[in-house]
Amino acid sequence: MDIPKRHSTDKTDIRRRLPSVDAVLQASDSLLQHWGNSRVGMAIRAELAGRREYLVAEIDLDVSVESIVESVRSKLAAADDSSLKPVINLTGTVLHTNLGRAVLPQQAIDAMAQVAAMPTNLEYDLASGDRGERDDHVEALICELIGTEAATVVNNNAAALLLVLNTLAENAEIPVSRGELVEIGGSFRVPDIMQRSGCSLVEVGTTNRTHLKDYKQAINTRTALLMKVHTSNYSVEGFTAAVDESELAALAKEQGLPFVVDLGSGNLIDFTAYGLPHEPVTGSAIEHGADVVTFSGDKLLGGPQCGIIAGRKDLIDRIRSNPLKRALRLDKITLAALSEVLKLYRHPEKLAEELPTLRYLTRDPSDIEKQALLLAPALAENLPSAYTVTPQVCLSQIGSGALPVQNIPSFGLAITASSDAQLRVLSDAFRQLPCPVVGRINDKKLLLDLRCLDCDTQFVEQSGKLKELLA
């Protein structure tokens, strides 16, 4: 028996129902203006191919030229969306590495835009008309703020460490305490960096206890330097012993070795003055006898991503002239931002106001509570009734390895739902908003810590789209 051909899957019939590429092109003037012939042509062909499949599968759909043009327009516009975009960080982690760490002050943003828009004297001495040094734009400021003779800057603290170790310890040994073989999130491990720098790690002491005699025993003719790594993202507690900077500095001096300290998070000021937990100040490592310190620009310093190397002039000069420096150097935009951020440190009284990182960290919990009380009903109104919004006390973290065991009291919005799945759907919807909102799911709640929220109106307004996203 002949199986009759189904009318709607007939190839010629489908082709007849869909408009031709040319017909769509003719109705696409504004698209062609905006995106050009080849992109629009490709998008139309892809759209028609997609619709043809629907028709073959006997799924009914609009095949009008207008609907095709509209669909092509929205797909082309969506493809132009930047992948890298601002988000609202309500995770409670102020310096969130995955969210780009420090938010820059306006002065830095303006300076970045200025040097981006015109040629600059990046490596040009305006006084003499001769070649200049890129480091000149920040070196004096760094030295002024932490009390060193010299300084140089590179792409990040990992690069700083790589450059320092490669310059001062290639083909030689470095004793490091087993308690300081740090791994930072995102697969940065001190032992790996050391290996790639061309030096050999000699582990000394134990995980919880390392003594000066352990270092002494490890020193031989192949030893290049002594090093201390700030255990920034964990703390070993209980029966512990570590050799402090002064003792290690004295031993290095006695042995004629440079003493290097990887500080991780570089903070230039005494945090306790702002009511925050104590974190070692960069300058104190120098006072304790460090010959070279390295730290990040975008952790507690609150600046752009970079690595700062500061210390003795003879050592910094050697580090600067390592050919690897060229591969790790900073660009003009980052230098402009760093310079502005460092200048803010000259006025500590205003710092908590001007530097976003410090402003977030020092916010008064009662202020955040007020914000939560205001925002809770506004957000609740924009959510389906299945969700409940409650202001709630919570704890923020500094992040990026600073003060790992100390949290700061904060306030947030806790959203509950009848199931975990429903909560996940909401958390996904928050991330699909025009300015994605990132919170954290904890203890059957979606918690939005408001410490870093400084765009309340935008937050509430765009939450009006949540119902639609959840539908």
Ligand X SMILES: *Cc1c(COP(=O)(O)O)cnc(C)c1O
Q: Which residues in this chain contact ligand X in the complex, by CB under 6 A? A: 156-158, 182, 184, 188, 229-230, 232, 262, 264-265, 296, 307, 401
Instruction: Express the helix, strand and coil content of the chain in percent, nearest 5 each.
Output: 45, 15, 35
CA angle at 356 for the pair 375 and 438, rounded to the nearest 5°: 50
Nearer to ligand X, 167 or 296 (CB): 296
Shortest distance (Å) from residue 322 CB to ligand X: 18
Nearer to ligand X, 18 or 158 (CB): 158
| Phi, psi (rounded to 5 degrees) for 229 | -115, 125
260: exposed, middle or buried (C-beta count within 10 Å: 0-12, 13-18, 19+)?
buried
CA angle at 471 for the pair 463 and 57, rounded to the nearest 5°: 135
**Beta carbons of 448 and 410 less than 8 angstroms apart:** no
d(CA 326, CA 124): 16
Contacts of 334 by beta carbon, 8 Å cutoff, 6+ apart: 297, 304, 305, 306
d(CA 218, CA 202): 7
Nearer to ligand X, 206 or 231 (CB): 231
Nearer to ligand X, 124 or 188 (CB): 188
**Beta carbons of 159 and 167 less than 8 angstroms apart:** no
Shortest distance (Å) from residue 190 CB to ligand X: 7
Nearer to ligand X, 156 or 223 (CB): 156
Shortest distance (Å) from residue 295 CB to ligand X: 8
Nearer to ligand X, 155 or 463 (CB): 155
Nearer to ligand X, 194 or 423 (CB): 194
Shortest distance (Å) from residue 400 CB to ligand X: 6
Q: Which helix (H) or strand (E) holds 293?
A: strand 292-296
Contacts of 296 by beta carbon, 8 Å cutoff, 6+ apart: 156, 157, 264, 265, 266, 305, 306, 307, 308, 400
| Residue with token string 């009848």 | 418
**Beta carbons of 274 and 378 less than 8 angstroms apart:** no
304: exposed, middle or buried (C-beta count within 10 Å: 0-12, 13-18, 19+)?
buried
Q: Which residue is nearest to ligand X (CB)?
A: 264
Shortest distance (Å) from residue 159 CB to ligand X: 7
The DSSP output letter for 131 is B
Shortest distance (Å) from residue 331 CB to ligand X: 16
CA angle at 424 for the pair 423 and 429, rounded to the nearest 5°: 100
Shortest distance (Å) from residue 304 CB to ligand X: 11
Nearer to ligand X, 182 or 376 (CB): 182
Nearer to ligand X, 89 or 265 (CB): 265
Nearer to ligand X, 148 or 157 (CB): 157
Shortest distance (Å) from residue 230 CB to ligand X: 5
Nearer to ligand X, 230 or 325 (CB): 230
**Beta carbons of 98 and 360 less than 8 angstroms apart:** no
| Phi, psi (rounded to 5 degrees) for 369 | -65, -45
The DSSP output letter for 100 is T
Shortest distance (Å) from residue 155 CB to ligand X: 8
Sign of CA dihedral 142, 144, 148, 150: positive
Q: Which helix (H) or strand (E) holds 282?
A: helix 282-287
Structure tokens at 400: 């990026």
Shortest distance (Å) from residue 110 CB to ligand X: 24
Shortest distance (Å) from residue 233 CB to ligand X: 6
